[in-house]
Structure 1
Amino acid sequence: MPRAVKAELRGLPADLAEKVGGHLLMAGQLIDTDPVEAQRYAAVARRHAARLPVVREAAAETAYAAEDFAAALQDFRTLRRMTGSDEYLPVIADCLRALGKPDEALATAREGSGGRLPVATRVELRIVEAGAREDLGQVAEAKRLLRKAWDAEHNSPAEVRARLAYAYAAVLEREGNTADSRAWFARAADADPEATDAADHLRVDRTDDIEVEFDAEGEE
C-alpha cells in the first residue's frame, strides 16, 4: 500500500484502518478488470472513512471507471473542496459531459482558465472543453481549441502531445475526414506510443485499405 495512503489511515483506530485499507487495496486491484466490483469495495471504505481524501478519491475513481458518473461527480467535487486542488477539474467536467450537461462542463473548464495548472491538467481540461463543444455541435470550435493547444504545448512532455494529437484525430475521424485523422493518429503514435491506442487506429485503417484492394482485384 502506498505510503501516503498508510499515512492517512493512521488517523483511524487500528482495526478500522485495517478494514478500510483492505477495501482500498481490493478496489485498486480490481479497477481495471472489474470496475463495478471495485466500486463496491471503495463504497464500503467510504461508508467507514468518508472524511479521508484517499477514500474519497478511491470512491470517485472507481465510480468513474464503472461509468457511474453521477456518483463520481459528487465525490470528485467533494474531493476538490477537501483538498483545494484544481487537478480534479478535467474529470469533473468530463462527468458533466457524460451526464449530458456540456454547458456545465464548459463552465467548469472556465474555472481553470485563470489559474496556473500543471501542464497535464491544463491539457486534459482543454480536451474535455473541446469535447463539450463537439457535444453542442460546435465542431469547428472544438478543432480550433485543440489545434491552439497543440501549437501552445510544443515543448510539453511527449505524453501530453500524444493526448492532444489523439483528441484532434478523433474529432476528425468522427467528422469523416479519414485522411487527416490518420495523419494525426500517426502524430499521436509517434509522440508517445504508450500514451494512447493511436497505433490500433492506424492498424485498423491499414486493414481496411487491404480489404478494399482485395475487393477491387476480385471485381476484375
Structure 2
Amino acid sequence: MPEPRLPDEVTGKELDRGVHQQLRTLSKENAEGVARHLVMVSVFLEADEVETALAHAETAVRRAGRVPAAREALGMVAYRMGDFGRALTEFRTVRRLSGSSHLLPLMVDCERGLGRHTRALELAASPEAKELGDAERIELAIVVSGVRRDLGQLDAALLALQVPALKRGRKAGVHRLQYAYADTLLALGRTDEAREWFLRVVEGDADGETDAVERLEELDGVALTDLGDGEDEVELAGEPPVADEPRA
C-alpha cells in the first residue's frame, strides 16, 4: 500500500529514548522510517487530523507489527476516533508485547465505551491495576468514576475519586482528578463543596486544560455575552442588562 508522505524536516529523532530502544529490533532503514511515521502520528493527533494520523499509524504497524510503540500509536488513534473495539485490541497487544500495564486506564475506558461496564470494573480491579504508577492511578480513578456515573451510582463515583492524590495539588494530572471530583459533587447537589474544588482546579490548571473557570462563573451566576468584536460583556444572572443611554 502507498505510504503517507513524510516531511524532510521530520527525522524520527524527536521520539524519546524508550521508543528508539524498541526500534533497535528493526533494520536501520526500517527503524528510521517507522520512527518518522510515529512522529507524524503525534503531530496529526495534536492537530486533530485523525484520518491522516491513522494512515501513519497503520503504516508503522505494517512495518513494525511487533514493536509496542507502533501498536500503541495505532491504538491511540483508534481511541481518539471512538473505535473502542480496535483500540482495545491494540492496547491488549501492547501489554502482551511489552509486559507493561500502563495502558490499563484506557483499556477500562474502552470497555466502558463498548457498554461493557461490568467488564470495565473487573479490569479496573485486576492485580495489574495495583502496579500502576501515580499518573496512571489518577487516570484509572477518573475512568472508574465515569463508569459509576454511567450506572447512576453517584456516591460510588465520588468514592472512586477519593484516592491519595486528590489533595496533592502539585502532582501531574491532579487538576483533572479534582475537576471530576468537583463535577461529581455538583451532580450530588453539594454545590458549596463543588465550588471549593473548582477553585482548586483553577489554581492547579495552569494551561487551562479544563473549563473550571467557566464552571465557577456559572455557579456564581456570571454570564458572558459575546459582543461579536472579540469582546465579552459580563452580566450577573437575575439582573437585566444595563440599557444604552439615549443618544443626544
Same fold (TM over 0.5): yes
Match of 1:27 in 2: 41
Matched to 2:114, the amino acid is: L
SS in 1 for 2:103: helix
Residue deviations 1:49-93 (CA, integer Å, cap 9, x gap): 110011111111222222222111111111112222222111110
Of 187, 212, 215 in structure 1, the residue corresponding to residue 237 of structure 2 is: 212
CA contact (8 A) 2:101 2:128 kept: no
CA contact (8 A) 1:153 1:161 kept: yes
CA contact (8 A) 2:166 2:177 kept: no
5 Å matches for 1:50-199?
Answer: 50-112=65-127, 115-146=130-161, 148-149=162-163, 153-155=166-168, 157-174=170-187, 179-194=192-207, 196-197=209-210, 198-199=212-213
CA contact (8 A) 1:158 1:192 kept: no
CA contact (8 A) 1:173 1:181 kept: yes
Q: TM-score, normalised by structure 1?
A: 0.83
Matched to 2:151, the amino acid is: L
CA separation in 1, counterparts of 2:27 and 2:188?
A: 56
RMSD (Å) for aligned C-alpha atoms: 2.7
Matched to 1:108, the amino acid is: L
Cα distance, 1:32–1:112 mapped onto 2, change above 3 Å: farther
Cα distance, 1:180–1:215 mapped onto 2, change above 3 Å: farther
Residue deviations 1:27-58 (CA, integer Å, cap 9, x gap): 11111211232122101111221100111111
Cα distance, 1:88–1:210 mapped onto 2, change above 3 Å: same
CA separation in 2, counterparts of 1:112 and 1:156?
A: 27
Q: TM-score, normalised by structure 2?
A: 0.75
| Structure 1 unpaired stretches of 5+ | none
CA contact (8 A) 2:166 2:174 kept: yes
Number of equivalences: 216
CA separation in 2, counterparts of 1:7 and 1:169?
A: 41
SS in 1 for 2:172: helix
CA separation in 1, counterparts of 2:129 and 2:32?
A: 41
Cα distance, 1:181–1:216 mapped onto 2, change above 3 Å: farther
The Cα shift of 1:108 comes to: 0.9
SS in 1 for 2:147: helix
The Cα shift of 1:5 comes to: 2.7
| Structure 2 unpaired stretches of 5+ | 1-13, 225-233, 244-248
Q: Highest CA radius of gyration, 1 or 2?
A: 2
Cα distance, 1:159–1:114 mapped onto 2, change above 3 Å: closer
Cα distance, 1:44–1:70 mapped onto 2, change above 3 Å: same
